[in-house]
Chains A and B, each alone.
Chain A
């Protein structure tokens, strides 16, 4: 494993929503996928995944149903609500604006800043 950096504040919610947007998913699978897609570079702070899920559920951005998994066990599957989808789009857009702005600044040549 390489050195991991912490997730910036608020981005965990965004990542969760993005993954859930791809299709109903339970907590464990979500954790796995989060790790895969971020290629072990970023890791959610320990123990913050479930509180984040419950927070999003309480805010009405996600909803959940109990369903059987492929292995025949009952698990809680999360889905993105309509409200969540709107939120996801808005946050994605603002995230992109932010990262573009940040990279713009970071790519300035040393002399250009003066």
Chain B
């Protein structure tokens, strides 16, 4: 019989045991009677001889090997009974735990989906990402995206991997339906198959199609399919006009498909891209390369094959490929700083959970003290210490699990709201889901918390001085528990200090950053990308005319004050960094200092509200045929020319031609990298050059990235519709994309700070509340226990003030210890925050001092009530209690 069967047949086995023993005793008694004994005496002797029926039964039950389970069952029932007896206590405990476990599990759920889960592609552990690496690092580092020709060579030469290329781009779909700007991914033919994805309907690309001159084909996303074709099957084979070119649709991507974190509306073949730059190994469009390790191949094998290709290419194309190697990494999601945000929040909620556990532990210690007599009685009746400890732990683990169940329910309710509150969009939000890992985590956290708050009171189960406990009842244990409870309260306060100081640091950082001048007047400015009609972008003269037309129409809109074009917008993604020098004796390219470069139209300064410091800004006379001019910001002026006036000087910028650029003005510095990050940015210097002086050959590329900035009289979003109508009158397929106000962009740069501040502030508040409840509860309990002592003191002449002081001294001791330890911990936390949150300055005493003061104030306030209560005791009643 297995132990499980034995457990299930417990009742039957007990009955049989009973019957067996009865038989034995009766047989024995019968024999004794036959020997002439009195029947009742015979029975008594028989029972003794067998060893006492009940004891024998217990030993036989032990022999079954299921005892631990039966005990567990008994402990569980006992635990539930105790919990039912004190529902208020249990509710407080369960809610505290639900909050702690729930928020910890919530953070884990996000971490799990975002960082721990692999990509949702077929056997993701065999997927690799390839990069180029140069021997020498430049200002931009030594890792580079692939050049398309290099990819082609790698793909054909390296046998142990199957490589695929992809490149993000965008463009206008003009047919069918309304013109719309969409996200596009150019891929090589094998891209979807190495990910293990096949189109939901239709077919994948073929490699014959992946070359110049083949008939243009495209795959469309599920959402574009619904938008443009109403989800009809006949979309396969239909055509779609993208950037003026007709594509035959061969398939529809699965609805769940995402490339890393971006949604893709259209997929075309990179081999059909005939732009000349695609053939360049230098100054090339950047290509992403992913690969799948072939069956049986190893990464090391792939590495050595790549080394061979790299050295062959280096010999063949020394100009571009000298010292250039190809490196392989496992394909991993890139989550930016979302990971560190999550780790900070995870750390914070763990602190809250710990404080909650300590709080519960001190409640349980207080209760255990009052239950001391019960425990002593149990020991006297033969319960072993281990048995009592186990029983106490069972009780706390049951509480922990109740909290865990409630907490998990909380996660179900709060997960989606949490994700929607995330500043910007949460990376890999699709994959953030409640799965078995989350459940396993919740269960482990519940068990660990149960053990954590249960173990201290459980170990206090009486073992020594039993008769003292029995005689004196509850009070006998208070002496020891006073020290223990002080330690618990002090550690609670210490943890609360860490959270409070963190919130304080984040708060002061946020305030400081918000007060910074972004350098632009961010109110009432609309910025939007604008995609020109695909029909004009091939002709430079038409491009210039079209832009001029757009500017004129936008200026004529009611409510528009000034309108300008700009390629790179401050605080928005995208920048252009160019090397500069102050003389014609240029050092090697990689040693040039860098500056941000923006091409703008003359009204830019007015549209953005940037202050002119010296000289002039561009005007209509700065054209292709006039002298090349630039306007620099204060930072570049100081870097390049020190204290001497910059206007009238020249800068050599090799990427803009060999002729020097004349500096005609100096303007205020703009916090281009965002309010928070600009101070730490590597490249802060800025200069502006006229869009009118962008050479014809670059005009098409520039036009793809230009945005329009409009300073408005009133709310800037109100001008979006008129603007859209205005630009459509020139060409139906001209569309606005990425419509933002500068307010939004500036706010977005502080969104992470605000998010962290709000959440960690809330956790700190919770921690403070819990710690205050803790200190209040412990003082109230200890004072109650000390009532007789106070009585004696009062009888001997102490007055109410003395008693008040006595209780407060106890609380001041706990607060002092907590604050000291907490400050040390907070000191370390400050460094962590400085590393993970931009703009945090070390050694700022304000958050420390103010937050510690808040904590001390709150803790003292929580101590006053029990202290005053104790001081108001009448000595007579107090002494009577003894």
Q: Is the interface of B mostly helix, strand, loop or mixed?
A: helix
* Known contacts A28-B28, A58-B63, A58-B65: A50-B56 contact under CB 8 Å: yes
Are the CB atoms of A51 and B62 closer together than 8 Å?
yes
Within the complex, what minimum Cβ distance (angstroms) separates A4 from chain B? 14
Nearest-neighbor residue (CB-CB) of B21 within chain A: A50
Within the complex, what minimum Cβ distance (angstroms) separates B24 from chain A? 4
Within the complex, what minimum Cβ distance (angstroms) separates A63 from chain B? 10
Are the CB atoms of B51 and A28 closer together than 8 Å?
no
Give every chain A residue within 8 A of B17 (Cβ-Cβ).
50, 54
Interface string of A53-84 (1 = CB under 8 A from B): 01100100000001000000111100000000
Are the CB atoms of B51 and A47 closer together than 8 Å?
yes
- How many angstroms between the C-alpha atoms of A90 and B228 in the bound complex? 85
* Cross-chain contact of B64 among A28, A45, A49, A58 (Cβ < 8 A): A58
- How many angstroms between the C-alpha atoms of A48 and B21 in the bound complex? 13
Nearest-neighbor residue (CB-CB) of B62 within chain A: A51
- A46 CB–B CB distance under 8 Å: yes
Within the complex, what minimum Cβ distance (angstroms) separates B393 from chain A? 28
Interface string of B1-17 (1 = CB under 8 A from A): 10000100000000011
- How many angstroms between the C-alpha atoms of A89 and B17 in the bound complex? 29
Give every chain B residue within 8 A of A15 (Cβ-Cβ).
none
Are the CB atoms of B59 and A48 closer together than 8 Å?
yes
- B23 CB–A CB distance under 8 Å: yes
Find residues 1-45 in chain B having any chain A CB closer than 8 Å to their own CB. Answer: 1, 6, 16-17, 19-21, 23-24, 27-28
- How many angstroms between the C-alpha atoms of A47 and B52 in the bound complex? 7
- How many angstroms between the C-alpha atoms of A49 and B51 in the bound complex? 9
Give every chain A residue within 8 A of B52 (Cβ-Cβ).
46-47
Within the complex, what minimum Cβ distance (angstroms) separates B668 from chain A? 88
Nearest-neighbor residue (CB-CB) of B51 within chain A: A47
Nearest-neighbor residue (CB-CB) of B30 within chain A: A71
Find residues 2-49 in chain A having any chain B CB closer than 8 Å to their own CB. Answer: 26-28, 31, 45-49
- How many angstroms between the C-alpha atoms of A30 and B382 in the bound complex? 32
Nearest-neighbor residue (CB-CB) of A44 within chain B: B51
Within the complex, what minimum Cβ distance (angstroms) separates A50 from chain B? 5
Within the complex, what minimum Cβ distance (angstroms) separates A100 from chain B? 32
- B621 CB–A CB distance under 8 Å: no
Are the CB atoms of B23 and A50 closer together than 8 Å?
no
Find residues 51-79 in chain B having any chain A CB closer than 8 Å to their own CB. Answer: 51-52, 55-56, 59-60, 62-65
- How many angstroms between the C-alpha atoms of A48 and B50 in the bound complex? 8
Give every chain B residue within 8 A of A51 (Cβ-Cβ).
56, 59-60, 62-63
Are the CB atoms of B20 and A75 closer together than 8 Å?
yes
Give every chain A residue within 8 A of B56 (Cβ-Cβ).
47, 50-51
Find residues 699-744 in chain B having any chain A CB closer than 8 Å to their own CB. Answer: none
- How many angstroms between the C-alpha atoms of A92 and B585 in the bound complex? 103
- How many angstroms between the C-alpha atoms of A31 and B62 in the bound complex? 21
Give every chain A residue within 8 A of B48 (Cβ-Cβ).
46
* Cross-chain contact of A54 among B27, B50, B51, B64 (Cβ < 8 A): B64
* Known contacts A51-B56, A58-B1, A58-B6: A27-B63 contact under CB 8 Å: no
Within the complex, what minimum Cβ distance (angstroms) separates B881 from chain A? 48
Nearest-neighbor residue (CB-CB) of A46 within chain B: B51
Give every chain A residue within 8 A of B876 (Cβ-Cβ).
none
Within the complex, what minimum Cβ distance (angstroms) separates A25 from chain B? 12
Give every chain B residue within 8 A of A31 (Cβ-Cβ).
24
Give every chain A residue within 8 A of B28 (Cβ-Cβ).
28
- How many angstroms between the C-alpha atoms of A47 and B46 in the bound complex? 12
Q: Give the one of B27, B59, B64, B65 with max A CB within 10 A.
A: B27
- How many angstroms between the C-alpha atoms of A55 and B6 in the bound complex? 13
Within the complex, what minimum Cβ distance (angstroms) separates A47 from chain B? 2
- Interface residue tally on B, bucketed by range: 20 to 34
* Cross-chain contact of A28 among B24, B55, B62, B65 (Cβ < 8 A): B24
* Cross-chain contact of A76 among B1, B20, B27, B51 (Cβ < 8 A): B20
Give every chain B residue within 8 A of A73 (Cβ-Cβ).
23
- How many angstroms between the C-alpha atoms of A49 and B60 in the bound complex? 10
- B681 CB–A CB distance under 8 Å: no
Are the CB atoms of B24 and A54 closer together than 8 Å?
no
Are the CB atoms of B23 and A26 closer together than 8 Å?
yes
* Known contacts A46-B49, A47-B51: A28-B60 contact under CB 8 Å: no
Give every chain B residue within 8 A of A58 (Cβ-Cβ).
1, 6, 63-65
- How many angstroms between the C-alpha atoms of A33 and B592 in the bound complex? 105
- How many angstroms between the C-alpha atoms of A47 and B28 in the bound complex? 14
Give every chain B residue within 8 A of A47 (Cβ-Cβ).
50-52, 55-56, 59
Within the complex, what minimum Cβ distance (angstroms) separates A59 from chain B? 9
- How many angstroms between the C-alpha atoms of A48 and B55 in the bound complex? 10
* Cross-chain contact of B60 among A45, A46, A54, A75 (Cβ < 8 A): A54
Nearest-neighbor residue (CB-CB) of B55 within chain A: A47
* Cross-chain contact of B24 among A27, A46, A66, A74 (Cβ < 8 A): A27
- How many angstroms between the C-alpha atoms of A76 and B27 in the bound complex? 13
* Cross-chain contact of B20 among A27, A46, A55 (Cβ < 8 A): A27
- How many angstroms between the C-alpha atoms of A45 and B59 in the bound complex? 13
Nearest-neighbor residue (CB-CB) of B60 within chain A: A54
- How many angstroms between the C-alpha atoms of A73 and B23 in the bound complex? 8
Give every chain A residue within 8 A of B63 (Cβ-Cβ).
51, 54-55, 58
Could you write out 15 A-B pairs with CB less than 8 Å apart?
A28-B27, A46-B48, A47-B51, A47-B55, A49-B51, A50-B59, A51-B56, A51-B60, A54-B17, A54-B60, A54-B63, A73-B23, A74-B23, A75-B23, A76-B23
Residues of B within 8 A of A (CB): 1, 6, 16-17, 19-21, 23-24, 27-28, 48-52, 55-56, 59-60, 62-65
> What are the nearest 3 A-B pairs in CB distance?
A47-B51, A51-B59, A46-B51
Known: A54-B60, A54-B64, A76-B20. 11 other contacts (CB 8 A): A27-B23, A45-B51, A46-B48, A46-B50, A47-B52, A47-B56, A50-B24, A50-B56, A50-B59, A73-B23, A76-B23
